[in-house]
A and B are shown apart, each in its own frame.
Chain A
């Protein structure tokens, strides 16, 4: 791949631009509130872990992380398991209304969450799922399921059809073929799809906040509590922010070799 002159400089500047605000957040999370408000320091002069300690010992704080991870994982599992057979169908067969169905799915990926906030609130209250991880996990399906179908369809299409035919000739039943042969073949595709489901469910707040009140409240919503009568608790806010970046960073690290191939299908 051929690059442009001065590419190192451009890349370095852009990465600094990306990292500087994040550094500032990390920097603040290790400062005492007195230091944050009184002086402008480029690194913590009196480093402290008090904010992190508070988050890890106060149940109302750390339960937010557990709640968030709970619905994100639930959502990823639901999305992938319903999307797999559909991706196979879209890739291999033509059936009545297939193109319309695909477009309809795609249009849901694009629908603004703000439109659904209120109806979802009514719907999940009516069926008694309000304030549970299930409500948020199901609500996030509206954009993650279409995305998963879209990504997986590309990977299934990459598997030669002869493999299906050979398996059926060998006497494999459809479910057995699916689990024993197809799923291992597109394992990296499932990884990529799971990555994107995780990502979009983890970063979404509007629906997650609307559908929970107390017991399933996501960490992102709990963060708004740092505003108190005594003013903003900036250090605590920064520490909570840093902790929300960590799961994402870990996930990226594990899939770093697949990121490019996931995007390469042009199916995001």
Chain B
């Protein structure tokens, strides 16, 4: 659809602009301000220039070491959950019943974990995984696996990953299901006439149609897992040691725990910058995907 050029449209956008500017630009200015200064308490601030940023990106200092280690852990975590959740989400979407009341029932149950407050998700898994009172921990120990997420690094990681799979695979599945629903029945009939195999139907019809929603799913999951805070904080508190301390947990520790405003602000800016870059790539790919689709639609 061709859009008309109308500068008065700014008046319609103004409320959104004001609300978001109030809650995004003002705080961000504070952060930029803090990131250049040092404080010794008492509300006295001293100019520190780019000192915090230098320290942050230098792994030999305490701050830089902590930041880069948590960044590495966070990237690894994001990649692992993407590698599990995306294929699993596709499989679940393909397994949805075709019609009847079971469709609604499955949708409701799938959406349920998405609407549980994040700290309650943490609480559920904290309880569920405990060796003394939780079903999972109890059963695992009963069959001879020594499982304790409080003291063992690997167990803590497994718990956090399984929890995230439990929490968010539904989102991927629901997105894929929506993509699959938009495929006209005629495509399948044509494939049947051609004698296409199940796999060929998936490769040639279903996967291309899910392209766009999958892109959204991957990037949403990447973003959200990259800023994960509440769930691992409740379950493991970032431990044992620092083994499940992700970037957000580290940031809140520095900002609200130690009240190290300068360091926290510098970390925030670098963190935000990473997110912004990924977000920009996402936006460009999305708009390009939209632009490519248009000529095809015109030809059809």
Q: A112-B275, A114-B251, A203-B115 are in contact. Are A92 and B3 (CB under 8 A)?
A: yes
State how many residues of chain B have any CB contact under 8 Å with chain A. 102
Cβ-defined partner of A256 (8 Å) among B108, B135, B230, B272 = B108
Asked if A46 is at the interface (CB within 8 A of a chain B CB), the reply is no
Question: Would you list 27 pairs from A and B whose C-beta atoms are within 8 A, ordered by A residue?
Answer: A1-B180, A3-B96, A4-B94, A10-B91, A11-B92, A24-B128, A25-B124, A82-B15, A98-B9, A103-B279, A103-B280, A105-B16, A114-B247, A115-B272, A119-B27, A142-B20, A145-B19, A149-B16, A161-B1, A203-B116, A205-B119, A206-B229, A206-B230, A220-B119, A256-B104, A268-B171, A268-B175
Binding site for B on A (CB under 8 A): 1-5, 7-8, 10-11, 14-15, 17-22, 24-25, 28, 36-37, 40, 42, 78, 81-83, 85-86, 88-90, 92-96, 98, 101, 103-108, 110-120, 122-123, 138-139, 141-142, 145-146, 149, 157, 161, 199, 202-206, 210, 220, 223-224, 234, 237-238, 241, 244-245, 247-249, 251-253, 256-257, 259-261, 263-264, 266, 268
Contact between B123 and A259, CB atoms less than 8 A apart: no
Considering the complex, which residues of chain B in the window 101-125 have a beta carbon less than 8 Å from any beta carbon of chain A?
104, 106-120, 123-125
Question: A223: which B residues are within 8 A, CB to CB?
Answer: 119-120, 123
Interface of A is mostly: helix
Interface of B is mostly: helix
Asked if B170 is at the interface (CB within 8 A of a chain A CB), the reply is yes
Contact between B15 and A266, CB atoms less than 8 A apart: no
CB distance from B108 to the nearest CB of A (A): 5
Interchain CA distance A199-B22 in the complex, whole Å: 22
Beyond A17-B166, A86-B16, A95-B13, 11 additional contacts (C-beta under 8 Å) are A7-B96, A7-B97, A10-B92, A15-B110, A103-B280, A112-B229, A116-B23, A122-B30, A245-B120, A256-B111, A260-B178
Contact between A117 and B111, CB atoms less than 8 A apart: no
Contact between A259 and B183, CB atoms less than 8 A apart: no
Contact between A22 and B125, CB atoms less than 8 A apart: no
Contact between B95 and A19, CB atoms less than 8 A apart: no
Residue of B nearest to A260 (CB): B178
Contact between B127 and A266, CB atoms less than 8 A apart: no
